[in-house]
Structure 1
């Protein structure tokens, strides 16, 4: 398995994760966002068939309002703080339930830590679109904020602990 930045060589139209919005983003918007510097999309491939996308994730930066953080973090920071955002994560139907999503989440955590070490940010934010997604991200150590059903956050300290453990 290899994680690469999305490029022309990758067959975006063949990707199907079972979610039309995630498929559409990869097929029509991801490269545009990458070219404009809005977001970075990374694809997980098998080195034997490097054009076939097994899974993908999109990372970007965002500004988080401290009230959207878990209570114990809310008081630690000023009102608006920089964070990384895992904007999209999808695995092709043919490869689901094989640990590829977890592989990309760990990659997202590592990339977030790398940005933190160069520029500074407070953690990684993800919007869990449904309860199954929320439960999935909670297992990695993401935390829910009060009154924020979809927003989950993992502070840098937790990322460091997760990656070192």
Structure 2
């Protein structure tokens, strides 16, 4: 499969929320919270879509990394059911990590559902380590969150998304 990535904008929030509420049924973000983060200068959100179809968002991901902060947080990442299994989640994560490094972030944190082994494995392969558990973090399902951290690698130690997972191939 082939996708293009671009920075998310306010006009994308409706499409992002369509995916958000379909994928994260019980613990989806509110449209207001998503709209705030998508346009915040402290955040960096990307959307992925098939070439020539910028209106058909298949995935999105967001990073919170305020200027001057040495810590960042992967706020969210979601890939539509039909786009999974082709490296798109990895490409989005590598793009967020690259942006975090550009912003001077030295550590990136995230929470992942304890009942989502595929996501946990992706994060481990990217170098994230488990720090602990937040019991009952995801409500109303009462699912634990695994807290993970990545020490952001120096540029020469990290492949860019283009080097590791070209957008135009799969």
- Equivalent residue, structure 2, for 1:58: 62
- 1:9-158 equivalences under 5 Å are 9-10=11-12, 11-15=15-19, 18-20=23-25, 24-25=28-29, 27-37=31-41, 39-61=43-65, 82-116=70-104, 121-130=105-114, 132=117, 133-145=119-131, 148-149=132-133, 150-157=146-153
For the 8 Å contact 1:45–1:53, the answer to whether it is kept is: yes
For the 8 Å contact 1:55–1:92, the answer to whether it is kept is: yes
More helix, by proportion: 1
Residue 152 of structure 1: how far off its partner (Å): 1.1
TM value normalised by structure 2: 0.67
Is the partner of 1:126 in helix, strand or coil? strand
Q: Which moved more, 1:24-33 or 1:95-104?
A: 24-33
Q: CA RMSD in A?
A: 2.8
Of the three residues 1, 6, 28, the one matched with 2:8 is 6
Residue 46 of structure 1: how far off its partner (Å): 2.0
Structure 1: stretches of 5+ with no match in the other structure: 63-80
Q: Distance in 2 between matches of 1:99 and 1:25?
A: 24
Aligned residues: 140
Residue 44 of structure 1: how far off its partner (Å): 1.1
Larger RCO: 1 or 2 (CA < 8 Å, sep 6+): 2
